């Protein structure tokens, strides 16, 4: 996946390298560019209907409609929480299927 950075800010490359490490740590989140032509700096993942937006060049992320977080630890905590919630939703779907 191509991760964009502003050419005037080469220090953003470190954020991109860190974000690649974060993506490897959370393979459950399959990131994609929802609109690469107009916003190449924005990536997104959807897991069990939970939408996560991220701006790798800023090491910033947010769950849709919630306040964004910035920094390695904060982004990792957000992603872990979203995955945990998605696992719970998946378990609930399985239970509903068993009952139904």
In whole angstroms, give the CA distance from residue 46 to residue 96. 21
pLDDT tens string 84-94 = 998 876 554 45
pLDDT score recorded for residue 34? 97
pLDDT score recorded for residue 29? 96
Order of strands across the sheet that contains 43-47: 43-47, 50-55, 60-63, 69-70
pLDDT tens string 36-63 = 999 999 999 999 899 999 999 999 999 9
Averaged pLDDT, 66-79? 96
Q: Tell me if residue 69 falls in helix, strand or coil.
A: strand
Tokens for 46, please give them: 């959807």
Q: Indicate yes or no: pTM above 0.85.
A: no
Q: Average model confidence (pLDDT) for the chain?
A: 89
The H or E element spanning position 45 is strand 43-47
């Amino acid at each position: 996946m191509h991760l964009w950075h502003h050419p005037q800010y080469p220090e953003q490359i470190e954020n991109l390298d860190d974000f690649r490490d974060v993506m490897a740590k959370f393979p459950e989140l399959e990131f994609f560019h929802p609109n690469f032509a107009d916003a190449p700096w924005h990536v997104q993942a959807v897991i069990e209907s939970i939408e996560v937006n991220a701006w790798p060049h800023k090491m910033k992320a947010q769950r849709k409609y919630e306040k964004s977080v910035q920094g390695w630890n904060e982004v990792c905590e957000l992603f872990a929480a979203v995955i945990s919630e998605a696992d719970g939703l998946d378990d609930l779907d399985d239970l509903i299927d068993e009952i139904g």
